[in-house]
Chains A and B, each alone.
Chain A
Amino acid sequence: MRCKRQYIYTYIVGLAYLLAGIFYQLFLVVSSSKKNKETHSVYKRRSAISQKEALLLEEDKVKPAEFMVILTNFTQIFSIFAAIGLDTILSVVNTSQPVANPSKQALLSFKCIFYKHVSTPFQALQIETLLFVFSPIAKLLAFSLYEVFRMIFKKCREPTVKIAVRLGTAAVVLTLLEQPGIIGSLSNYLSCNRIDPYVNNEYVKLPNSVERYMPEYIYFRNVAVIPAILFWGVAVPFTIFLILYKKRRLLPFSENLYTVFSAPL
């Protein structure tokens, strides 16, 4: 009975984290899209007036959201450094982590639930890795579905460019929010060590009951983990960089491009 209550409690907490996380990310997508549009219009206005008049606008331009973006980045980056050598304050820094990406926290709550349904720790690790890797894609698909319904509801009267801009902003913001978690999860799969110095076998660091050179481990590594690392760690950042580099001259003048690629996080 107690176990069942604990199970329900964990399930509710996990669900709450997941929903809160999704709503937060949705809020970030909408607010970043709005903010980028505003910034672009201010930029356009500024380029139209003299430098002296532009200085007068300076005071009104700063918004709290811009500071919050710097703060979110700061907590994320500082947590990487704190993980290297600031053990005592790591817990303090980690409490602010769900602000940027709540998936990790939600997954922690769901962990004991999916441990009930899988037979080995290796399967649990596989599911965890796959959840991280496909989380932004699933969210983007859900967002696309919402856009399709919106399009039907509005009887296709909205210009396609607007929908594309909204989807693009969602893709960029979700990528930037989730990429650290994905890389962390994939690297966790790859990082192994010896538990016993006298035994040659290596085990995954977390959970340390998964042996490194099992055929299933190698197969999953080659089929899922390495392609995912190449996609999320190399292809996605490189593509964003390449688009920004190629369109660098067009960026200040095109509102759509600016809205998509000037994501705050």
Chain B
Amino acid sequence: MLLFTLGSVLTLADIAKAQIFFWIVQLYYELLLRSSPYTEKALFQAEKYCAQAYRLTLLTITFKLSLQNTGLSIACDILSVLTAIDAVAYIIFHVAKLHLKTLKDNVKKFLKIRKENAETKKLFKLTLASLRKHHFEKEEISFEKHRRRIVISVERPYE
């Protein structure tokens, strides 16, 4: 919020603006290193890379504005873009990693459920087959009307 307000309100020369921002970012960077608000290492590293990108960008801007040279200007721009890409790539890599992990977990869960379902189906078929076999052996395939089967105990096929 402070940076946005300053960015709009300050009507100083660009080089002075860059210096003010640099010191604010430097202060934030020092505070971040001393007492990080993140308990997770990856989040802390992401924030650290972002802060480093800000610092380097502001330094290159100061350098670029003080030495008006076209070649150097382009080199500074490229350097700034590279640091920004570095920070963004780190974040995107972790986001992709987390999404991939979730996807992997979901696929695993799906395969496990499918396997369990297939096993249940197989067991069901085996149970029915052993029942049919039992009734064949006892010659109980057809019944007279209103007659009920005697209670039976079939051995579980998977034991």
- Which of A84-92, A106-114, A133-141 faces chain B? A84-92
Q: Distance in Å from the Cβ of B120 to the closest Cβ of chain A?
A: 30
Minimum CB–CB distance from B8 to chain A (whole Å) comes to 4
Query: For chain B, which range describes its interface: under 10, 10 to 19, 20 to 34, or 35 or more residues?
Result: 35 or more
Q: A62-B40, A70-B43, A179-B1 are contacts. A88–B77 as well, Cβ < 8 Å?
A: yes
Q: Which residues of A contact B47 (CB under 8 A)?
A: 70
Q: Which residues on the A side are within 8 Å of B8 (C-beta)? A: 180, 183-184, 186-188
Report the minimal beta-carbon distance from A98 to chain B, rounded to whole angstroms: 16
Cα A183 to Cα B18 with chains together (Å): 19
Which residue of chain A has the shortest Cβ distance to B41 in the bound complex? A58
A68 to B46, CA, bound (A): 10
Within 16-74 of A, Cβ neighbours of B (below 8 Å) are at: 58, 61-64, 66-68, 70-71, 73-74
Answer whether residue A191 sits at the interface, using C-beta atoms and an 8 A cutoff.
Answer: yes
Q: Which residues of B contact A237 (CB under 8 A)?
A: 1-2, 5
What are the residues of chain B within 8 A of A184 when measuring CB–CB?
4, 7-8
| Interface residue B142 (Cβ < 8 Å from any Cβ of A) | no
Q: For chain B residues 1-57, which have a beta carbon within 8 Å of chain A?
A: 1-5, 7-9, 11, 14, 17-18, 21, 39-40, 42-43, 46-47, 50, 53-54, 57
The answer to whether B14 and A85 have CB atoms under 8 Å apart is: yes
For the residues of A in contact with B, the DSSP-based class is helix
Closest to B21 in A: A81
Pair A74/B4 contact, Cβ less than 8 Å = no
Cβ contacts under 8 Å, A66 to chain B? 40, 43
Cβ contacts under 8 Å, A92 to chain B? 81
Interface string of A96-129 (1 = CB under 8 A from B): 0000000000000000000000000000000000
Q: B126 contacts which chain A residues (CB < 8 A)?
A: none
Alpha-carbon distance A71/B74, docked complex (angstroms): 25
State whether A78 touches B43 (Cβ < 8 A). Answer: no
The answer to whether the Cβ of A152 comes within 8 Å of any Cβ in the partner chain is no
Are A63 and B57 in contact (CB-based, < 8 A)? no
CB-defined contacts of B1 to chain A, threshold 8 Å: 176, 179-180, 237
Known contacts: A67-B94, A74-B88. The answer to whether A84 contacts B4 by CB under 8 A is no
Q: How far is the CA of A184 from the CA of B3 in the complex (A)?
A: 11
How far, in angstroms, from A61 to B39 measured CA to CA in the complex? 10
Chain A neighbourhood of B18, CB < 8 A: 81, 84-85
B89 to chain A, nearest CB (A): 11
**Range of interface residues on chain A?**
35 or more
Query: Can you name the residue of chain B whose Cβ is closest to the Cβ of A60?
Result: B101
Q: Is the CB of B141 closer than 8 A to any CB of chain A? A: no
Q: Is A77 an interface residue (CB 8 A)?
A: yes
Q: Are A78 and B5 in contact (CB under 8 A)?
A: no
Given contacts A70-B47, A85-B61, A86-B57, contact A77 B88 (CB under 8 A): no
Which residue of chain B has its CB nearest to the CB of A183? B8
Query: Is residue B99 contacting chain A, with contact meaning CB distance below 8 A?
Result: yes
Known: A84-B61, A180-B4. 13 other contacts (CB 8 A): A61-B40, A64-B95, A66-B40, A67-B94, A74-B87, A74-B91, A76-B4, A84-B18, A86-B81, A179-B5, A184-B8, A186-B8, A237-B1
Which residues of B come within 8 Å of A, CB atoms?
Answer: 1-5, 7-9, 11, 14, 17-18, 21, 39-40, 42-43, 46-47, 50, 53-54, 57-58, 61, 64-65, 74, 77, 80-81, 84, 87-88, 91-92, 94-95, 98-99
Chosen A-B contacts, 24 in total, with CB atoms closer than 8 Å, are A62-B40, A62-B42, A64-B98, A67-B42, A67-B43, A67-B91, A68-B91, A70-B46, A74-B53, A74-B91, A77-B50, A78-B54, A80-B3, A84-B14, A84-B17, A84-B21, A86-B61, A86-B80, A86-B81, A88-B74, A89-B77, A176-B1, A184-B4, A237-B5
Interface residues of A (CB under 8 A from B): 58, 61-64, 66-68, 70-71, 73-74, 76-78, 80-86, 88-89, 92, 176, 179-180, 183-184, 186-188, 191, 229, 233, 237
